Amino acid sequence: MTCGFLVLDKPAGLSSHSCVSRVRRAYGLKRVGHGGTLDPAVTGVLPIALGPATRLLPYLEGDKTYRGVVQLGQRTDSDDLEGTLLEQRPLPPLDPGALEAVLEGFRGPIQQRPPAVSAVHVNGQRAYALARQGHNLELPPRPVTIHHLELLAWHPERGQLELEVHCSAGTYIRSLARDLGEQLGCGGCLARLRRTGALGFNLEQSVTLESLEPQPPALLDPLAVLGHLPRHALSAADLAGWRCGRMQPTAETWDEDTAVVVVDPDGNLAGMARVHSAGLLQPRLVLDAAS
């Protein structure tokens, strides 16, 4: 059974859905999904799960890392250069010290308003669909965390900042570009973006779409991908009960609700469990369930 992960270096100009379709054809599978949608203009790490590994996506690490370019002096309706220009302003005098002072206010836990053109749900519809219908949306802010925000370069002649961002799931770099511009008093939007890490994967593990033909590459082993989580090995006596969805005893003292990788007596992935209470694991995903 095909089960594993592929890290795609997504090119510009393709949607994440189109990339999944290419992978589906290359491996001859219907059950293929991705983790962390990338806008068509954005390149970089797009994690793709194949076969039963699609059910493991919620257990992967959520943080993401990006390198991007912010264009100061311009505001657009989509908060990037793909959108319609709303306003153009002159840049104030800026130097790396002044920029660092503003960046400091975005480090750590912050409240961030998603872009109007985004996949956020509003009354059962995607925000981007409502925006295209002419609705003027002001989405409410939500908590995100920017763990690392580094100024890589400042190009005053072009009014562009190069940034590296390590952030929690749900963070919009387009919103960061917009808000940086607001704080600097000149407006801003995202010019270019490349994702260098997502869900525990990085660019060094990635392959190109071209490498899928004629022979697609080997997949990453789910057990290696889930290495950040604790592991429980089933005994031969416990295997039948696990396959029937029964609680499993454990001598470990993990915190309640901790996700745990479960392996069978041969060391193969058997599924996922959560710590139900002291000494007990509750099956959450059983890959070879008894019929």
Q: Which residues are catalytic?
A: 39
How far is CA 132 from each of CA 69, 78, 116, 128, 129, rounded to the nearest angstrom? 25, 11, 10, 6, 5
Burial class of residue 222 (count of CB atoms within 10 Å of its CB; 0-12, 13-18, 19+): buried
CB atoms within 10 A of CB 64: 23
Alpha-carbon gap, residue 149 to 72, rounded angstroms:
17
Q: What crossing angle do the helices spanning 173-184 and 96-104 adopt, rounded to 10°?
A: 120
Phi, psi of 138 (to 5 degrees): -130, 90
Would you mind telling me the total number of residues written for the chain in this entry? 291
How far is CA 50 from each of CA 61, 203, 272, rounded to the nearest angstrom? 18, 19, 17
For 21, residues 6+ apart whose C-beta sits below 8 A from its C-beta are none
CA 35, 39, 45, 51 torsion: positive or negative?
positive
DSSP-derived 3-state class of residue 54: helix
For 187, residues 6+ apart whose C-beta sits below 8 A from its C-beta are 72, 73, 74, 75, 87, 88, 89, 178, 181
For 169, residues 6+ apart whose C-beta sits below 8 A from its C-beta are 36, 62, 63, 64
